[in-house]
């Protein structure tokens, strides 16, 4: 059997089985976290601009944008997928260097709304999309991440798998949906090495492409079934020859949806260990930001390269500036949405502290990436004191997880300014009971 057929067989084979309780709970956590990212992203560019660009696809159809506006299925997947990746607070599967929620859940919900699916069907689709795509992401590995943005490439498989599951595709058509998704997959790292809106669009495009691949397969559109492992296929063209047997080995037995990282800071995830480590050293030294003489950060290569903006001038650049986010954490105590407001971006003390920060690649920590996301932080004070701390993981990683209460706090903080605290409270209560919802079209409107 080809790789896509084996993934399809897994999906079809679990359809009649009850969802394991742990996987069900973590799938609900993923959906809650997705909404926390979606809502603030829905009221800023590029989502607001996409609504103008795709006006002919809006105000019709059963699918919905974040704030309830009707949309065609593909437009909803595209706009919501982009919105959910804009504010940089969406989930991460660290072993695949991949944000699964934005493309996968955006596609799943758009198709679920269009077909009047139940909440349980939505959760089952989310799990299937996560289990398939995270394994593809982990197999493609670091070699893929050198040039490609995994959320746009690997996310296409998550979206296609989730949409195929909602449609109830048999193994043959499910296989063809994944095969078509492979040739739709695209997203370049270079697209966000300058200030642009391309990065969130990668997630939106992946969601839309996955929806299209599944819809086409449902009607009989075929793909090349060896496109994953073939000589000129996805694995060889965009990585260094992935081990697909290893990728498939635990499918159906180990649930990757239980291994998500939920972000605790509103910026690039590669900066998190440095932020957490710097704040810990600051606590130990009991030093104010103005009394810091020097900050030295050792981390892995992607942290330095992807978040390397030296003098960010826009929110998008600042979210990918390790020096800025560490400095703002030390000055203001957190890196939330307020960190990227104009006044904060121009904050004098933050800018002065940035000049005292240097970032280097630590060979030991780089060798452990992507399985470990660590940083070694040294702070020297103006009165001659010094402390070093190794932050072994990021708060929010599976090793240091956010509790359900932490996740609720994150949701309320991000959702309440957009839809109001009462509405946010009602929504999260529904999401914790999502498996009991008879129809997501009306129940989550």
Q: Domains along the chain?
A: 3-264+403-443 (1.10.4100.10), 269-391 (3.30.1330.120)
- The 8 Å CB, 24+ separation contacts for 316-320 are 316/192, 316/195, 316/196, 316/197, 316/199, 317/195, 318/267, 318/345, 319/88, 319/266, 319/267, 319/268, 320/192, 320/267, 320/268
Q: From CA 80, how far away is CA 34, in angstroms rounded?
A: 10
Q: From CA 150, how far away is CA 156, in angstroms rounded?
A: 9
The strand pair at 292-299 and 375-381 is best described as antiparallel
Our measurement of the distance from residue 308's CA atom to the centroid of its chain's CA atoms, rounded to an integer in Å, reads 20
Tokens in use for 70? 């009707």
Instruction: Specify whether the CB–CB gap between 370 and 94 falls below 8 A.
Output: yes
What tens-digit pLDDT sequence spans the chain (445 residues)? 999 999 999 999 999 999 999 999 999 999 999 999 999 999 999 999 999 999 999 999 999 999 999 999 999 999 999 999 999 999 999 999 999 999 999 999 999 999 999 999 999 999 999 999 999 999 999 999 999 999 999 999 999 999 999 999 999 999 999 999 999 999 999 999 899 999 999 999 999 999 999 999 999 999 999 999 999 999 999 999 999 999 999 999 999 999 999 999 999 999 999 999 999 999 999 999 999 999 999 999 999 999 999 999 999 999 999 999 999 999 999 999 999 999 999 999 999 999 999 999 999 999 999 999 999 999 999 999 999 999 999 999 999 999 999 999 999 999 999 999 999 999 999 999 999 999 999 877 6
Element (H, E) at 278: helix 272-285
Our measurement of the distance from residue 137's CA atom to the centroid of its chain's CA atoms, rounded to an integer in Å, reads 12
């Amino acid at each position: 059997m080809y790789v896509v057929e084996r993934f399809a067989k897994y999906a079809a084979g679990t359809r009649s089985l009850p969802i394991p309780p742990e996987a069900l709970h973590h799938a609900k956590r993923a959906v809650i976290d997705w909404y926390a990212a979606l809502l603030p992203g829905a009221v800023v560019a590029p989502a607001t601009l996409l609504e103008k660009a795709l006006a002919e696809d809006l105000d019709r159809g059963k699918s919905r944008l974040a704030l309830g506006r009707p949309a065609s299925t593909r437009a909803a997947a595209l706009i919501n997928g982009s919105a959910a990746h804009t504010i940089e607070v969406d989930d991460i599967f660290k072993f695949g260097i991949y944000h699964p929620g934005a493309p996968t859940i955006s596609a799943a919900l758009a198709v679920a709304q269009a077909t009047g699916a139940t909440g349980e069907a939505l959760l089952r689709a989310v799990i299937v999309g996560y289990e398939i795509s995270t394994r593809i992401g982990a197999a493609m590995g670091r070699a893929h991440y050198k040039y490609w943005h995994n959320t746009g490439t690997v996310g296409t498989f998550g979206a296609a798998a989730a949409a195929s599951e909602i449609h109830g595709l048999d193994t043959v058509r499910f296989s063809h949906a994944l095969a078509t998704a492979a040739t739709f997959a695209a997203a370049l790292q270079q697209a966000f090495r300058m200030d642009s809106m391309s990065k969130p669009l990668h997630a939106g495009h992946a969601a839309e492409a996955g929806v299209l691949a599944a819809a086409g397969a449902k009607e009989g559109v075929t793909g090349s079934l060896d496109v994953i492992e073939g000589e000129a296929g996805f694995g060889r063209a965009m990585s260094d020859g992935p081990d697909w047997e290893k990728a498939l080995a635990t499918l159906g037995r180990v649930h990757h949806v239980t291994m998500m990282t939920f972000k605790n800071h509103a910026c690039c995830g590669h900066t998190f260990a440095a932020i957490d480590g710097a704040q810990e050293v600051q606590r130990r030294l009991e030093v104010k930001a103005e009394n810091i003489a020097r900050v030295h950060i050792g981390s892995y290569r992607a942290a330095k390269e992807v978040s390397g903006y030296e003098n960010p001038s826009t929110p998008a650049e600042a979210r990918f500036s390790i020096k800025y986010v560490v400095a703002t954490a030390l000055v203001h105590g957190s890196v939330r949405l307020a960190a990227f407001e104009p006044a904060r971006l121009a904050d004098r003390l933050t800018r002065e502290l940035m000049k005292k920060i240097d970032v280097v690649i630590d060979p030991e920590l780089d060798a452990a990436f992507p399985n470990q996301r660590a940083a070694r932080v040294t702070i020297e004070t103006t009165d001659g004191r010094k402390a070093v701390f190794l932050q072994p993981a990021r708060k929010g990683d599976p090793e240091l997880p956010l509790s359900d209460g932490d996740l609720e706090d994150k949701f309320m903080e991000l959702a309440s300014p957009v839809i109001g605290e009462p509405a946010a409270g009602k929504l999260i209560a529904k999401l914790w009971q999502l498996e009991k919802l008879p129809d997501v079209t009306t129940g989550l409107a």
